[in-house]
Amino acid sequence: MNALVELTGVSKRYVDNPSFAARLLGITRTVHAVTEVSLSLERGETLGLVGESGCGKSTLARCTIALESASAGEVRFDGRAIEPARRRGLRWFRRRAQMVFQDPRSSLNRSLTTEETLARALRTGGGQDGREARHARIVELLRAVGLGPAFLHRYSHELSGGQCQRVSIARALAVEPDFVVLDEPVSALDVSIQAQIVNLLLELQERLDLAYLFISHDLHLIRYVSDRIAVMYFGRIVELGPAEEVSERPRHPYTQLLLAAVPQPDPALRDETVEVTGEVPSPLDPPSGCTFHPRCPLADGRCIRERPELRRVTPDIEVACHRYEETRDPVPALTMVSKLED
Ligand code: SF4
């Protein structure tokens, strides 16, 4: 059986300075935002995509949902290639795949009420029902996301951040999709609201058998919501596997550092946490070999010379790291902490 979503060797490149003069003088540079990503998602599954900001997560999401076309590789949905369909308008795809954005307020049209926003989404989905049926469906959508009819006539500036995100989720659900990309759906919200929205998303997934590509920089959140986790660094997947394996027994040093970077709520344990040192390098000046080597406490000469391929190390786990390939030892957290502190 086909996966619902399948990415094969997807890359996205941008020209850094596309002005006519720069092109004429041959001084343009290429930014490799996403490089050779292959992933798949089954129906009803959540694949968590985690990494620091600037690592290519959102670009990959936009290619997956056909808001941008990939420079190379292929995205298939339910066995159908997206790119040829993209040129014909993608109507069928928009009815089956939707996206919820990070900033709910700016993703809603300020000049529309909640009812108008959802009515517009229903029209996109091809719903030709009469006014009464459409109104009933809008009320039903609002109820599904925990909002009552009192919100029908409110504009986005009259809603809280959490309420705006609930309307965004209702808008995504209006077309009855099979697949939703959630791009940092709670990171712009108050901490007190985040858990409510996450639980709403999980409840809707269960009820509607939705597949999610859930994007976040927070590995602990990703672990909570995901069946499998893909860890992304500098435009490439560096570790992929079941959520419990990736978060409990990380094989890639970057995954270990992401785990260590999450603030520890228990004050007694705070001394043992570290921050990922350094920043994601400039995509205009990528490091040689393993792109993580300037920040990796375990890097050696081979890492500087040779880029590690993403290799399958068990039937369901893939890792791109020379050290892991050679030793097959999970990354020792405390060793890494002390090396980082040196
Ligand atoms: Fe670190 Fe080398 Fe593994 Fe890259 S290949 S993550 S530099 S040990």
pLDDT digit string, tens, across residues 112-144: 999 999 999 998 777 657 888 899 999 999 999
What is the spatial distance between Cα 304 and Cα 273, in angstroms, rounded to a whole number?
27
Give the per-residue SS3 of the chain. Answer: CCCCEEEEEEEEEEECCCCHHHHHHCCCCEEEEEEEEEEEECCCCEEEEECCCCCCHHHHHHHHCCCCCCCEEEEEECCEEHHHHHHCCCHHHHCCEEEECCCHHHHCCCCCEHHHHHHHHHHHCCCCCCHHHHHHHHHHHHHHCCCCHHHCCCEHHHCCHHHHHHHHHHHHHCCCCCEEEEECCCCCCCHHHHHHHHHHHHHHHHHHCCEEEEEECCHHHHHHHCCEEEEEECCEEEEEEEHHHHHHCCCCHHHHHHHHHCCCCCHHHHHHCCCCCCCCCCCCCCCCCCCCHHHCCCCCHHHHHCCCCCEEEECCEEECCHHHHHHCCCCCHHHHHHHHHC
Q: How far is the CA of 111 from the centre of ligand 1 (A)?
A: 50
Tokens at 45, concatenated = 């599954």
Q: How far is the CA of 47 from the centre of ligand 1 (A)?
A: 24
pLDDT (tens digit, 9 = 90+) per residue, 207-237?
Answer: 999 999 999 999 999 999 999 999 999 999 9
pLDDT in tens, the chain (342 residues): 679 999 999 999 988 776 777 767 777 778 889 999 999 999 999 999 999 988 999 999 999 999 999 999 999 999 999 886 666 667 888 889 999 999 989 999 999 999 999 999 998 777 657 888 899 999 999 999 999 999 999 999 999 999 999 999 999 999 999 999 999 999 999 988 999 999 999 999 999 999 999 999 999 999 999 999 999 999 999 999 999 999 999 999 999 988 877 655 554 544 444 445 677 788 778 899 999 999 998 999 999 999 999 999 999 999 999 999 888 877 765 455 544 444
List, chain by chain if needed, residues with CB within 6 Å of any ligand 1 atom: 252-253, 290, 292-293, 296, 298-299, 303, 308, 321-323
Answer for the pair 35, 236: CB distance below 8 angstroms, yes or no: yes
- Please tell me the residue having the least CA distance from ligand 1 atom 4: 290
Pocket test for ligand 1, best of 232, 306, 321 (most atoms within 8 A of CB): 321
What is the spatial distance between Cα 42 and Cα 178, in angstroms, rounded to a whole number?
10
Stated length of the chain: 342
In Å, the largest CA–CA distance within the chain is 69
What is the spatial distance between Cα 30 and Cα 14, in angstroms, rounded to a whole number?
6
Burial class (CB in 10 A: 0-12, 13-18, 19+), 47: buried
